[in-house]
Amino acid sequence: MSKKLLFILIVCVLIGFFIFKSNDKPIIHSFDDCVRESGIIMESYPRQCKSFDGKIYVEEIKNINEEPTIKINEIVNGTVINSPLIIRGSARGKWFFEASFPVKLVDKQNNLIASGIAMATGDSLTDDFVPFECRLDFSISEKTEGVLVFKNDNPSGIPENDIYYRIPVIINVNGNATKIKVYFANDNLDKDVTCEKVFYTERNITNTKTIATAAIEELLKGVTEKEAKEGYRTLINSGVRLNKLVIQDGVAKIDFSEQLGTGVGGSCRVSFIRKQIEETLKQFSTVKNVIISINGDSEYILQP
């Protein structure tokens, strides 16, 4: 066999191989196909699956409330809910582990608004329906759509054993809410990026005697999607916890977990972090000065 003929034969074999492989790709037409082919499942509502080629397939919700193993009293699709929300209903025993299961309230983007634990008010060691009760406290700045998500307590950790029940709702602004200010950086408002200016955005919180603590908790949540679109951003790390806040004689002594100082460097970022905390506290007339500490240390923290 001549070299030329051998070369042509090899080229033909390679072309045939690539044609075969291209036709060997799985055919995906639906959410179920995408899941079957190990696509990435996103916990939205309805759920979405991202296939290997980047396409998004949305789960078709069919008779979501048909023959449920959980029943919710008074709350149906589209119900307007207020804080505090008391949820009562009944669920079959398989929903419970140690007489409880988790409940959460999320917005349309699946951002967590509130979470709680549904506690059985009867014997949960049965296959029958067991009554339960759950309380959710939340605060939002404007009326919005959301979803109540009920999930069985699954100690096995095996996804196939998970049970979800979702109810789309309208989340109302709390009529007894208090308006507070939370301070963030905003490059749209501070185009020179002075590292000294922070700007407030208003939020509604449930009335509380510890309003300064509630304001800091709102600060630690970071910016909302709406605030981010308006140019607000936070320089505070995610996952920071408030350990303690004491206000006495005009001085607010506030202590955070170690995450506040993790990976923080540069005088500009340090300045922003301090300003965000200080201005959020100084909106209250009882606060004139602020001392920040991390796990009790106020001297060697937030260094440039």
Run of H or E including 182: strand 177-186
pLDDT, tens digit (0-9, with 9 covering 90-100), for 155-184: 888 888 889 999 999 998 776 678 899 999
Q: State the CATH number of the domain containing residue 104.
A: 2.60.40.2550
pLDDT, tens digit (0-9, with 9 covering 90-100), for 221-246: 899 878 888 999 999 998 899 999 99
Q: Is residue 229 within 8 Å of residue 213, measured between CB atoms?
A: no
Listed residues 145, 171, 197: the one ending a domain = 171
Q: State the CATH number of the domain containing residue 187.
A: 3.30.300
- Domain with 222, as residue range(s), is 177-294
Residues 6+ apart with CB under 8 A from 286: 212, 247, 250
Average pLDDT on 91-117 reads: 91
Residue 155 included in any domain: yes
Helix then strand count (H, E) for the chain reads 5, 17
> Is the same domain home to 181 and 262?
yes
Residue 116 included in any domain: yes
> Is the same domain home to 218 and 253?
yes
Residue 3 included in any domain: no
> Is the same domain home to 203 and 145?
no
Rounded CA gap, 36 and 51, in Å?
Answer: 10
> Is the same domain home to 86 and 156?
yes
pLDDT, tens digit (0-9, with 9 covering 90-100), for 279-299: 999 999 999 999 999 999 988
Residue 19 included in any domain: no
Q: Determine how many CB atoms are found less than 10 A away from the CB of residue 246.
A: 11
Q: For residue 19, what are its two tokens?
A: 């044609």
Listed residues 62, 87, 112: the one ending a domain = 62
